[in-house]
Amino acid sequence: MATLFPFPANWSAGVQVTLRFRTDVFVSRSGKEQRRALHTDPRKSISYSALAHAGNYRTFMRLMADSQNDDIILPDPTRSIGVTAAISSGATSFTVAGTRPYWITSGSTVILDDGENRATATVSGVSSSTITIGATTRAWPSHTLVRPALTGLLAPSIPSKMSTDNLANINVEFTVAPGSETYTTTSPVTTLEGVEVFTWPGQSESDILADWILAKLGRMRSKLGPSRKDTADGDGDKEARFAVLGTKAPAVLVEMGFISHPATEEQLRKPEVLHEIAFNICDAITCWRLTGKGPNT
């Protein structure tokens, strides 16, 4: 039976979640290279710092000695939902505050967490925001959080250091067992379409270039859909703090469509459309360099 890991994250030091994907490249019958996924789900690991007081530190040492190579259940430190009211001892159901998250399904295991105590619960049924479980063995206060239960293994070596005579710092490394986690099955949005151009927040030369690109790609409305603009600051580009935009030189990020939109995907598969997009972007850059002004000035 898997052991529940009792040490929560010390959020002053943050939590790191790493997803690892594995792919390879092969040559199709058409002679073109294609990439395929070798894992259905990404490999997930979680690392964080936890604090253990003197008595709890002895619990940690016993856990490492007895269960380090066995399955561990980790309360997901990054996802949770609250309950609407206190849960009495022996209760067989509770109601979550808001829309029930996708990871609470019939048959799933969740963690009840009140900040000091944690316990696993198996979901036997769901109805809207009401969750049915086996009878609880203790009462849970109204501030209790429900978390996903992640099954996996601790790292072979987990460094720990006594910060004081009564306090230890533990560097937790946990790998989620492949296939053990519930993922959302939400379908992609198929109604979004159009061109978006992003620049770094604030006004700069990048905004003038972005206006030229929007103007030139606007000629492809029948193929790419309408330009998705944000005119709140007087121009049509959208602003975002993407790393590729944080440069001293003018920089824009052009998103030429949504492949989740069937018609756009069909257009973006055509070499002549891709050529036309590239020509219009080059034309926009040329106009920006030659005039130094926007297309409407």
Rounded to whole angstroms, the Cα distance separating 273 from 270 reads 5
**Residues contacting residue 59 through CB under 8 Å, at least 6 positions apart:** 6, 52
Rounded to whole angstroms, the Cα distance separating 225 from 207 reads 21
**Within the chain, how many helices (H) and strands (E) appear?**
5, 17
Residue type, 150: L
Q: What per-residue confidence (pLDDT) applies to 16?
A: 94
Q: Would you write out the chain's pLDDT as a tens digit for each of its 297 residues?
A: 789 998 999 988 889 999 988 888 888 777 778 778 787 778 999 999 999 887 788 888 888 888 778 899 999 999 999 999 999 999 999 999 989 999 999 999 999 999 899 999 999 999 999 999 999 999 999 999 999 999 999 998 888 888 888 888 999 999 999 888 876 666 666 777 889 999 998 889 999 999 999 999 999 988 988 888 887 777 889 998 888 898 989 999 999 888 888 889 899 999 999 999 999 999 999 999 999 888 876
Residues 56 and 6 sit within 8 Å (Cβ to Cβ): yes
Q: What is the pTM of this model?
A: 0.61
Residue type, 275: H
Rounded to whole angstroms, the Cα distance separating 121 from 110 reads 5
Q: What per-residue confidence (pLDDT) applies to 230?
A: 80
**Parallel, antiparallel or unpaired: strands 23-27 and 130-133:** unpaired
Reading the block at residue 133, the tokens are: 């479980």
Q: What per-residue confidence (pLDDT) applies to 26?
A: 82
Q: What per-residue confidence (pLDDT) applies to 229?
A: 83
Name 123's bridge partners.
133
Residues 146 and 76 sit within 8 Å (Cβ to Cβ): no
Name 147's bridge partners.
111
Domains of the chain, each with CATH number or no CATH: 3-176 (no CATH), 196-291 (3.40.630.40)
Buried b (16+ CB within 10 A) or exposed e, 190-222: eeebbbbbbbbeeeeebbbbbbbbbbbbbebee
Distance of CA 64 to the CA centre of its chain: 30
